[in-house]
Chains A and B, each alone.
Chain A
Amino acid sequence: MSEPLLEVSNLEVSYGKIKAVKGISFTVGEGEVVSLIGTNGAGKTTTLRTISGLLRPSGGSIRFMGKDIAKTPAHEIVGMGLAHSPEGRRIFPRMTVEENLLLGAFSRVDKDFDADLREVYDLFPILEERSQQPAGTFSGGEQQMLAMGRAMMSKPKLLMLDEPSMGLSPLMMKRIMTTVTTLQQRGTTILLVEQNAQAALRRATKGYVLEVGKIVLTGTGQELLTSEEVRKAYLGED
């Protein structure tokens, strides 16, 4: 088998003396949708922020397309093909939709954004309707669409989504998750972080369950969905 797109080995991350991620390992292969699930505070966001270079690991390694990126500055990582749609969406509130999207393409050396803008607008028509409006006025769901569209504008090889369904209405949650499926079918590789285990695992080729900084379960999405532990802890079933 060829090398995975992303390979995280024994990753450790600390905030001062507090260890938030305690030696986790996982891989994401080309074309896969890998779900990282776990309750609030498990270390999911910390893991993604470390992969993106916003945080520095205190141990372990991160290999992306065969290259160790643990020490690569954050602003160089997106240009290598690793996009991160952060927790809480973090759109630029005082910029228009289009300006947000163009910032998503900031790392690109080519200037052919039109086709990619088109693609984002086809996926989320509301963004095109409101392309000249400041993004800060948008609802949570619209902001999430914008955040995902912005991440897509960098033409990533791997798209990391941190809790895209957080705080959304069930309808909007469904809309966002459907888009994840669409992207998946188009061949985008996705690392999906969710507390909403059901939605995340249903789509996953592979899943990891994180608990207080450690991976406690691994399996295919289906295996995890049907596993006793996951049903009890994350799907609210007895």
Chain B
Amino acid sequence: MQFLQQLLNGLTIGSLYALIAVGYTVVYGIVQLINFAHGEVFMIGAFGALATWSLLFKGTTAIWVLPIIILGAMLASVSVALLMERIAYRPLRNAPRLAPLITAIGISVILQEGVRLFYPEAKSSLSFPGIDIVTGPPIAIGGLDLRRSTIFIILALIVCAVGLWVFINRTKQGRAMLAVSQDPDTARLMGVNVDRTIAIAFALGALLAAVAGVAQGLHTRTVTFNMGFMAGLKAFTAAVLGGIGNIQGAVAGGLVLGVIEALATQYLGGATWANVWAFVLLIIVLVFWPQGLLGAKVVDRA
């Protein structure tokens, strides 16, 4: 029973990693850039949801609030992601690879500090609103405590993954993304607007990160200005695990990482070690399977 409970916890946290990891992998697949500020896009999503709730629905815990705070989160995340792409990354597209990397660190610091200084009371952690249907009492199944937020998070991952698959494989803009990931110049010869396609990749990653931000807020009921740092690192690990550029891989990598982390915490040394296992795994994968466990397929068939 303990094992099943930890498996469930692992799938929950793993789904969050997966939602964020897709953002790393989609952008990498299109421009071969690791957007290390993507963790902050997730954090901004959580704060966007909190701000929407505080401004419009303070005190409300009804279900109809949920889609609107998700929209608020998406608006915040997508705006920030598009801005960073336009202002910081686009001018560096032909620069040495170190330049965008250092820029990403700069953007992370700016966003974290921006939220810490300018979001009311954000210097310490803020409590995230509850939405009854997601944050109500857990459901007991056998001896298992199934939290409603777990159901919400796993459903969110499924909906996002299916939506992304449909977008990439069934829309014209999705085909453009596949083309750019394989050969940007030739894609332009076909009439694909590469700048716009790259911006769309950033926006897609931000949409999923925003959902993750709301989901994590509802799950832990707190948000902090630096919540994106560790989540971002873990999600990056998940993306590498699945083969950077490979969308299915990012989802699988997130789930695997979450489960390993939960089980290791239970059976190998407790919560203090949780983060260590993730990075031990990262190093092992980088050394033995640098292409990731599923291979880097570069945004093929989401």
Residues of A in contact with B (beta carbons under 8 Å apart): 52-54, 73-76, 78-79, 83-84, 86, 90, 92-95, 99, 102-104, 106-107, 150, 154
| Bound: A193/B188 CA distance, A | 20
Residues of B in contact with A (beta carbons under 8 Å apart): 172, 175-176, 178-179, 182-183, 185-194, 297-298, 300
A75 x B182 contact (CB < 8 A)? no
Pick the contact of A103: B175, B194, B298 (CB < 8 A).
Answer: B175
* Most A CB within 10 A of own CB, among B175, B183, B186, B300: B186
A74 x B188 contact (CB < 8 A)? yes
What's the nearest-Cβ distance from chain B to residue A107, in Å? Answer: 3
Tell me which residues across on chain B come within 8 A of A94, comparing CB atoms: 178, 182, 297-298, 300
| Bound: A79/B190 CA distance, A | 9
Pick the contact of B192: A83, A84, A106 (CB < 8 A).
Answer: A106
What's the nearest-Cβ distance from chain A to residue B188, in Å? Answer: 4
Chain A, Cβ-Cβ closest to B196: A75
User: Which 3 pairs across A and B sit closest by C-beta, in order of nearness?
Assistant: A107-B191, A74-B188, A90-B186
Tell me which residues across on chain B come within 8 A of A93, comparing CB atoms: 182
A75 x B193 contact (CB < 8 A)? yes
Tell me which residues across on chain B come within 8 A of A79, comparing CB atoms: 191
Interface of B is mostly: helix
A107 x B190 contact (CB < 8 A)? yes
Chain A, Cβ-Cβ closest to B188: A74
| Bound: A22/B298 CA distance, A | 39
A95 x B182 contact (CB < 8 A)? yes
Chain B, Cβ-Cβ closest to A147: B186
Tell me which residues across on chain A come within 8 A of B297, comparing CB atoms: 94
| Bound: A90/B185 CA distance, A | 9
6 A/B residue pairs, CB under 8 Å, sorted by A: A78-B190, A79-B191, A95-B178, A95-B182, A106-B175, A106-B191
| Bound: A86/B189 CA distance, A | 9
Chain B, Cβ-Cβ closest to A83: B189
What's the nearest-Cβ distance from chain A to residue B288, in Å? Answer: 25
A86 x B186 contact (CB < 8 A)? yes
B175 x A74 contact (CB < 8 A)? no
What's the nearest-Cβ distance from chain B to residue A102, in Å? Answer: 7
| Bound: A150/B175 CA distance, A | 15
Pick the contact of A78: B179, B183, B185, B191 (CB < 8 A).
Answer: B191
Tell me which residues across on chain B come within 8 A of A154, comparing CB atoms: 190-191
| Bound: A83/B191 CA distance, A | 10
What's the nearest-Cβ distance from chain B to residue A79, in Å? Answer: 5
